[in-house]
Chains A and B, each alone.
Chain A
Amino acid sequence: EDKVVQSPLSLVVHEGDTVTLNCSYEVTNFRSLLWYKQEKKAPTFLFMLTSSGIEKKSGRLSSILDKKELFSILNITATQTGDSAVYLCADFGTSYGKLTFGQGTILTVHP
Chain B
Amino acid sequence: GAVVSQHPSWVICKSGTSVKIECRSLDFQATTMFWYRQFPKQSLMLMATSNEGSKATYEQGVEKDKFLINHASLTLSTLTVTSAHPEDSSFYICSAPERKNIQYFGAGTRLSVL
> Is there an interface contact between A88 and B43, defined as CB atoms closer than 8 Å?
yes
> Is there an interface contact between A99 and B102, defined as CB atoms closer than 8 Å?
no
> Is there an interface contact between B32 and A97, defined as CB atoms closer than 8 Å?
yes
Find chain A residues with CB under 8 A from B9 CB.
41
> How many residues of B are in contact with the other chain, CB < 8 A?
24
Given contacts A34-B103, A41-B107, A42-B6, contact A95 B49 (CB under 8 A): yes
Quick one: which of A26-50 are within 8 Å of B by CB? 31-32, 34, 36, 41-45, 48
Find chain A residues with CB under 8 A from B97 CB.
96-97
CB-CB contacts of B20-54 with A at 8 A, as 1s and 0s?
Answer: 00000000000010100000011111100100000
Quick one: which of A80-111 are within 8 Å of B by CB? 88, 92, 95-104, 106
> Is there an interface contact between B49 and A101, defined as CB atoms closer than 8 Å?
no
Q: How large, as a class, is the contact surface on chain A? A: 20 to 34
Q: Closest CB-CB distance, A82 to chain B, in whole Å? A: 18
> Is there an interface contact between B49 and A97, defined as CB atoms closer than 8 Å?
yes
Q: Closest CB-CB distance, B94 to chain A, in whole Å? A: 9
Chain A residue with the shortest CB-CB distance to B110: A41
Q: Give Cα distance in the complex from A97 to B32, angstroms.
A: 8
Question: Which B residues contact A (CB, under 8 angstroms)?
Answer: 1, 6, 9, 32, 34, 41-46, 49, 93, 95, 97, 100-108
Given A88-B44, A92-B101, A99-B46: 19 more A-B contacts, CB < 8 Å: A32-B101, A34-B102, A41-B9, A42-B6, A42-B106, A44-B105, A45-B102, A45-B103, A48-B101, A97-B32, A97-B34, A97-B103, A98-B34, A98-B49, A99-B103, A100-B46, A101-B43, A104-B42, A106-B41
